[in-house]
Amino acid sequence: MTQRETIAAIATAAGAAGVGIVRVSGPGCRAIAATLLGRPPEPRHAHYLRFRDGDGEVIDDGLLIHFPAPQSYTGEDVLELQGHGSPLLLARLLRRCLDLGARPARPGEFTERAFLEGRLDLAQAEAVADLISAGSEAAVRAARRSLDGEFSRRVHAVVEGLTALRVWVEAALDFPEEEVDFLAAPELRRRLHDVAADLAALRAAAGRGQRLVDGLHVVIAGAPNAGKSSLLNALAGEDRAIVTDIAGTTRDVLRERVRVDGIELTLVDTAGLREAPDVVEQEGIRRARAELARADLVLAVLDDQAPVPELPLPAGVPVLWLHNKADLSGAAAHAERRPDGEHLWLSARTGEGLDALRQRLREAAGLGEGSEGAFSARARHVDALARADALLAQAAAQLHHGAGELAAEELRRAQDALGEITGTVDADALLGRIFGDFCIGK
Ligand SMILES: Nc1nc2c(c(=O)[nH]1)N(C=O)[C@@H](CNc1ccc(C(=O)N[C@@H](CCC(=O)O)C(=O)O)cc1)CN2
Ligand SMILES: Nc1nc2c(ncn2[C@@H]2O[C@H](COP(=O)(O)OP(=O)(O)OP(=O)(O)O)[C@@H](O)[C@H]2O)c(=O)[nH]1
Ligand SMILES: [Mg+2]
């Protein structure tokens, strides 16, 4: 293996803070540490010292810690310089490390090295970034689980199931003269079914994990005056949108990032859907429809006192029907009479029924009952799982037709698709894209 370069970056967030850290990784750490300290550092010992520049001028006082390889975050030699959290001081400290032979780290390069050193697999490395940028406590917990290898373990379990299937099929192909046709064995069929079920469950869980990371895109739609903007305000806990008793008040799309019971939502308020009299409102309605098309969930708001309008909702998007103004109709009691998850009675004005709505939003975000153990995931993972799923279905069909060779090939490709998740397969091509989205210093 060629000797890697030594990389350095400010690892803490930009801006004034109590403490800031410059992190260095690679073979040059020991020499940089010895120069700054005036003697070789003790392993994993916090040395208090004055950091000086090349002319001997004091930059800052702080702590120096050397983590000799492989016991470090990256698995390489790592050096931490912990100074005061001033962006200007930290920039000088970083400059000093560069003068002593390091080069600036690219985004995510420390974690990329941890991956290359085998300290984390790819799904875990991505979980590091998801942990840092998590927008809700639930997302933090989910990223924590993926970082601890929960997701990877489940991927491995399916890979093992696929391997066992392949072994079976290939053995059957190797010994065609056997009396029994092993390809037609009910036991093989049963195992195939079990692996497919595990994969489907994992795919669903990863989809929930992705929604946790990305946050849920929730679009509020309905007839004019139904109380859509009032609902946005009630969920946001603040008067964000204009509310009046004039139908057609909201004309533009209003987006609010809100946290509801530990989940992150993008709530989108839209113009009331109707045959609009003027062009401004028409444009608002056009935009409302565009938002609806990319919703994870639609909250269709109805005025419980008015006749149910025809709403042009897109097919294939989950819809929750909210019968608003229940304070006027006194219909909150309906909720008990019709315990139907898709219909809720509530009042944006008094707040009654909002707890039930929050609970449904949690469920939509994958945090309902039985969702303990949620782990974070990304579109890349969900896509790989979908491909593995399709390949497994093809393998099953081919086995059904006695095409063992083809089935074995599809099983191998399904395995490779799963290998992309943890980075055991095809990782090189993915690294630039994955780590390029990280922050510098991570
Ligand atoms: N100051 C500081 N805090 C930090 C980090 C860091 O790099 N520096 N981390 C960076 O993201 C996170 C912690 N991640 C780390 C992971 C492994 C090791 C490490 O030294 N592992 C060795 C030793 C383990 C042990 O002594 O038990 C190893 O695994 O061999 C350090 C930090 C969060 N807090
Ligand atoms: N009594 C009662 N009035 C409500 C409730 N929700 C909204 N309203 C009233 O209904 C009227 C319309 O509310 P908005 O929130 O502006 O309705 P909207 O759906 O955003 O209307 P447009 O933007 O015009 O499409 C206002 O006068 C609100 O105060 C409710 O739960 N109970
Ligand atoms: Mg409105």
Cα–Cα distance between 86 and 319 in angstroms, integer?
A: 49
pTM: 0.82
Q: What is the DSSP letter of 43?
A: B
Beta bridge partners of 256: 267
Question: What is the residue with the minimal CA distance to atom 30 of ligand 2?
Answer: 325
Nearest to 269 by CA among 299, 228, 303, 239: 228
| 63 phi/psi in degrees, rounded to 5 | -115, 145
Q: Virtual CA dihedral for 334, 339, 341, 344, nearest 10 degrees?
A: 10
Which protein residue's CA is at the shortest distance from atom 4 of ligand 1? 73
Structure-token match 């059904």, residue found: 400
Among 243, 304, 322, which is best to mutate for testing ligand 2, by the most ligand atoms less than 8 A from CB?
A: 243
Q: Express each pLDDT in 166-205 by its tens digit.
A: 999 988 888 777 666 778 888 999 999 999 999 999 999 9
Q: Decide: helix, strand or coil at residue 69.
A: coil
Taking the CA atoms of the chain, what radius of gyration do you get in angstroms? Answer: 28
How far is residue 347's CA from residue 332's CA, in Å, rounded to a whole number? 8
Structure tokens at 136: 């809700």
CA distance 47 to 64: 5
Residue 111 CA: nearest ligand 1 atom is 11
The residue whose CA has the least distance to atom 32 of ligand 2 is 325
Cα 221 from Cα 226, distance rounded (Å):
9
**pLDDT (0 to 100) of residue 339:** 44
Q: What are the chain's domains?
A: 7-120 (3.30.1360.120), 132-212+376-422 (1.20.120.430), 216-364 (3.40.50.300)
**What is the ipTM, given to two decimal places?**
0.77
Pocket of ligand 2 (CB under 6 A): 222, 224-230, 243-245, 247-250, 271-272, 324-325, 327-328, 347-349
Instruction: Name residues with Cβ closer than 5 Å to ligand 3, which is an ion.
Output: 228-229, 249-250
Residues forming beta bridges with residue 63, ordered by sequence position: 48, 82
Q: What tens digit of pLDDT does each residue of 281-339 get?
A: 899 999 999 999 889 899 999 998 888 888 888 888 889 999 999 999 876 555 444 44
Binding residues for (6S)-5-formyl-5,6,7,8-tetrahydrofolate, by number, are 23, 80, 119, 442
Q: Cβ(80) to ligand 1 under 6 A?
A: yes
The residue whose two tokens read 């993926």 is 146
Q: Tokens 């009691």 — which residue?
A: 333
